[in-house]
Amino acid sequence: MITKPKGTKDIHGKDARKWQYIEEIVSNVLDKYNYTLIRTPLFEASDLFHRGVGETTDIVSKETYDFIDRGNRNMTLRPEGTAGVVRSFIENKMYGDNLPQKLFYIGPMYRYERPQKGRYREFYQFGMELLGSDDPIGDAEVISAAYNIYKMLGLEKLKVNINSLGDSESRKDYHKALVEYLKPHINELCDDCKERYQKNPLRVLDCKVDRDSDILKKAPTPLDYLNKESKERFEKVCEYLDMLKVPYEVNPRLVRGLDYYNHTVFEIDDTAKDMGSQNTIGAGGRYNGLVKLLDGPDTPCMGFAAGIDRVMVALDAEEIDLDVNDDVDLFLMYVNDEEKSYALYLCQELRLAGFRVDTDYLGRSLKAQFKQADRLKAKYTIVLNSKDLDNNEVKIKNNKTKEEEIISIDALIYYLDENLEDECDCGDDCHCGDDCHCHDHK
């Protein structure tokens, strides 16, 4: 038997509906923020990530899936979404009068990692990118949008950590101070950090091994080296977040693993006990240098990416049962051939009218069809019979109350519309359609 590759998973059944639900919330919320969907290729030229994410990052140095295609080109499965979005922004000339660009994506990413709970080789992210604005309202908007999406999904135990790396001048000063501080301690750091110290010392702060060591706890932080403008800018972001009522904590030691960040960086953790060590459910920041680095016009940007797999773990850890509807509205049963073809026809009519309808495909006995209707949690059932059909009637049964009514087939859509509408007990007189804003369905 062929099995799935290590670090991947099949998403199916009720779980698949949960994923769809999350993706719908993400799309709906970001639509209200006026972000539009962008789909970029799952593989790109390896150079894009080498330059865009950075040679010295863990992602590029250890985690990419690289391959040479049949035309001898070096390709990489995308390990993250931002580099591809920025490549597309430049290639499609989305700048000039079109700024700002507000884009979001949802899709799989690939990293060759040691698989564990909340860490996979194929995992899903949603992310948003605000390209073309350097205003701190953009920073606050992206952080609050991320926070609001998690809240909409029902997550409560959220911790927003933010920090500022400052502009390039501040970063340079900090870099110098950090190198001086770490110099006498190099031998006490892990092997990876010894290398990071040489190639990109800032990344030492991000080390999962050394993070809690005394050396790093006492290390200078980027906040100590912010120049006046960077400091004022960071204060503005915090002020806006206060106004938006996003609870956050300034974490002076937070840096991000990617090369292209400056000014604001942030991470959102879920602090539920059962999260395990993979408790960061999303992260982002400002990356004013990236577009230029990839040969585009100098364009300030702010973005965020969330791990959907980890959101799923967080929902479990917080014991949140998403309000996914996997019930069938109506199950149609039949016995003879004439009824079968009518079932097929009626299924189509009702499905096109917006109802979730199912029927028998296995030539089951009526008794077994009733069982199947229960298994599918059918709200209504109809046993088609030739005599009723001749009279243009059906007998419809409410599977919960067991009440039966004979109604005209012409009135079936109206009947279902009226009766299924009452399902929602939000009290807001809602219709539970796609755009339902009632409390239960937010």
Shortest Cβ contact with ligand ATP: which residue? 307
Residue 15 CA to residue 23 CA, distance in Å, equals: 12
Interacting stretch for ligand ATP, rule CB under 6 A, among 64-72, 120-128, 326-334, 396-404?
Answer: 120-128
226-to-181, 391, 403 alpha-carbon distances in Å = 17, 82, 71
Output 61 or 280, the one with its CB closest to ligand ATP. Answer: 280
Q: How far is the CB of 304 from ligand ATP (least distance, A)?
A: 8
Cβ distance to ligand ATP smaller for residue 106 or 333: 106
Q: Which residues within the stretch 93-112 sit at the binding site for ligand ATP (CB under 6 A)?
A: 111
DSSP letters along 348-378, please?
HHHHHTT--EEE-SS---HHHHHHHHHHTT-
**Residue showing tokens 């079936």:** 412
Structure tokens at 376: 């599918």
For ligand ATP, give the closer residue by CB, 209 or 243. Answer: 209
The stretch among 114-122, 347-355, 382-390, 393-401 that binds ligand ATP (CB under 6 A) is: 114-122
- CA dist 174 and 221 (Å) reads 7
Is 43 or 95 the residue whose CB approaches ligand ATP more closely? 43
Cβ partners under 8 Å of residue 326, min gap 6: 14, 17, 377
Closest CB 121 distance from ligand ATP, rounded Å? 7
Give the distance from CA 222 to its chain's centroid: 29
Nearer CB in complex with ligand ATP: 38/283: 283
419, with CB counted inside 10 A (0-12, 13-18, 19+), is middle
Listed ranges 68-76, 165-173, 214-222, 274-282: which one lies at the site for ligand ATP (CB under 6 A) = 274-282
Q: Return the residue of 84, 136, 220, 282 that touches ligand ATP, per CB under 6 A.
A: 282
Task: Tell me how far apart the alpha carbons of residues 434 and 23 are, in angstroms, rounded to a whole number.
Answer: 14
Q: Residue 217: what are its φ and ψ, rounded to 5°? A: -60, -35
Give whichever of 108 and 354 is closer to ligand ATP, judged by the CB atom: 108
Using CB under 6 A as the binding criterion, the count of chain residues that bind ligand ATP stands at 18
Under rule CB under 6 A, residue 123 binds ligand ATP: yes
Quote the least distance from Cβ 54 to ligand ATP, whole Å.
12
Identify which of residues 305 and 332 has a Cβ nearer to ligand ATP in the complex.
Answer: 305
Closest C-alpha to 311, from 284, 282, 285, 283: 282
Candidate list 305, 333, 350, 378; residue touching ligand ATP; CB under 6 A: 305
Q: Which residues contact 122 (CB under 8 A, 6 or more apart)?
A: 5, 7, 8, 9, 108, 109, 110
Structure token pair of residue 171: 């970063």
Distance CA 296, CA 89 (A): 9
**Rounded Cα distance, 101 and 384, in Å:** 54
Rule CB under 6 A: choose which of 51, 102, 286, 310 binds ligand ATP: 310
Q: Are strands 330-333 and 74-77 parallel, antiparallel or unpaired?
A: unpaired
Contact 222, 166 (CB under 8 A): yes
Selected range binding ligand ATP among 138-146, 190-198, 279-287, 367-375, rule: CB under 6 A: 279-287
Which CB atom, from 216 or from 384, has the smaller least distance to ligand ATP?
216
Establish if 283 lies at the interface with ligand ATP (CB under 6 A).
yes
Q: Which is nearer to ligand ATP, 309 or 339 (CB)?
A: 309
Span 240-259, contacts to ligand ATP by CB under 6 A: 257
What is the contact mask toward ligand ATP in residues 44 to 83, using x (rule: CB under 6 A)?
------------------------------------x---
Task: Kindly list the residues in this chain that would bind ligand ATP in the complex (CB under 6 A).
Answer: 80, 111, 113, 118-120, 123, 125, 257, 278, 280-283, 305, 307, 309-310
